[in-house]
Amino acid sequence: MPQVVTDSGSAAAAAIAPSVARQRINDYVALTKPKVQSLLLFTTLAAMLIAGRPSIALIIATLIGGAMSAGGSGAINHWYDRDVDLLMERTADRPVASGRISPRAALSFGLILGAASLIWLALLVNPLAAALSFAGFVGYAVGYTMLLKRNTWQNIIWGGAAGAVPPLVGWAAVTGSLSGLAIFLFFIVFFWTPPHFWALSLLMKDDYEAAGIPMLPVVRGEDETRRQILLYSVLLYAVSQLPFCAGGLGVPYLIVSLGLGLTLIVMAWQLRRRADRASALRLYLFSLLYLAVLFATMVADVWL
């Protein structure tokens, strides 16, 4: 009988071990913010395909380096924000905030990924792409997370520049330089970020207020946030026309960018007029579609 008990206990331990390992792997993946990464890597890939005809090997090398850079800055964000994450329902179960991964381990993981990305891109892509990617890493991990997020309602405006770097990385990876069209791609993402994120912040206002984070709806109020969303939607519309006006893209891009831009402005106007959560959610979801379709149209315009 004692042997049976021992065998049963061993079997239970053996069954639990893979589950614990899977949880640990999932937690480390979560540190890299894969949902955020997917959009960053998409704009990187799109920029590469707009810039030229990159080889599959170059695309893979660039995306791996970009994933390590973005993942590293995400892990540092988890490490630094663990105290405020614990105060918000949306983020309380994050690996570091919940205690499943230690702060030291998360910080080390983030720094290792950032350093590995810099070396990887410098050796397998080119120094300019590596430098730009590292600038994005520092911009998010230090500029946004440590300096801006807790100190000013303009955090997402200037911090959003880090999220606009991936198209520059993709362009530099293919050409070894930057051009006017690459800069336009940067500013499209830059001006897209405020209306996208502020729509989300309207939905999460109570969380940010509880954590003491000065997001725009908390500091300036919801009406001012809706006004700023409309303003930046108009600015985004104007900036999105620059690739066509400068001769970098053609009529197909013009038609799609006009349709997307006007739709976003109409939705921003409806959000300001209705002032309800449903309108904020619709605009937030549409903004994701907006960026994906806009960049995909650029690729199609260049290739077809």
Taking only Cα atoms into account, the Rg of the chain, rounded to an integer number of angstroms, comes to 22
Has residue 233 got a pLDDT over 80?
A: yes
Q: Would you list the domain boundaries of the chain?
A: 23-176, 179-304
Find out whether 52 and 46 touch, Cβ atoms under 8 Å: no
- Predicted local confidence at residue 89, as pLDDT: 87
- Predicted local confidence at residue 250, as pLDDT: 94
Has residue 50 got a pLDDT over 80?
A: yes
- Predicted local confidence at residue 84, as pLDDT: 94
Average pLDDT, integer, range 272-290: 96
Decide which of 188 and 4 is more confident: 188
- Predicted local confidence at residue 1, as pLDDT: 45
Tokens 């792409």 correspond to 129
**How many Cα neighbours within 13 Å face the side chain of 163?**
25
Instruction: Give the pLDDT band (50/70/90) at residue 161.
Output: very high
Q: Which of 189, 283, 289 shows the shortest CA–CA distance to 239? A: 189
Has residue 304 got a pLDDT over 90?
A: no
The domain defined by 179-304 folds into: Four Helix Bundle (Hemerythrin (Met), subunit A) (1.20.120)
List own/partner pairs for 117-124 with CB under 8 A and 24 or more apart.
117/65, 117/66, 117/68, 117/69, 117/72, 118/69, 120/61, 120/64, 120/65, 120/68, 121/61, 121/62, 121/65, 121/66, 121/69, 121/169, 121/173, 124/61, 124/65
- Predicted local confidence at residue 270, as pLDDT: 97
Query: Burial letters for 171-193: b for 16+ Cβ neighbours within 10 Å, e otherwise?
Result: bbbbbeebeebbebbbbbbbbbb
Has residue 46 got a pLDDT over 90?
A: yes
Has residue 3 got a pLDDT over 80?
A: no
- Predicted local confidence at residue 20, as pLDDT: 81
Q: pTM of the prediction?
A: 0.91
23-176 in CATH: which number?
A: 1.10.357.140
Average pLDDT, the chain: 93
Lookup: tokens for 177: 């330089």
Has residue 180 got a pLDDT over 90?
A: yes
pLDDT tens column, 5-22: 455 566 555 555 568 888
Lookup: tokens for 241: 């026309």
Find out whether 84 and 212 touch, Cβ atoms under 8 Å: yes
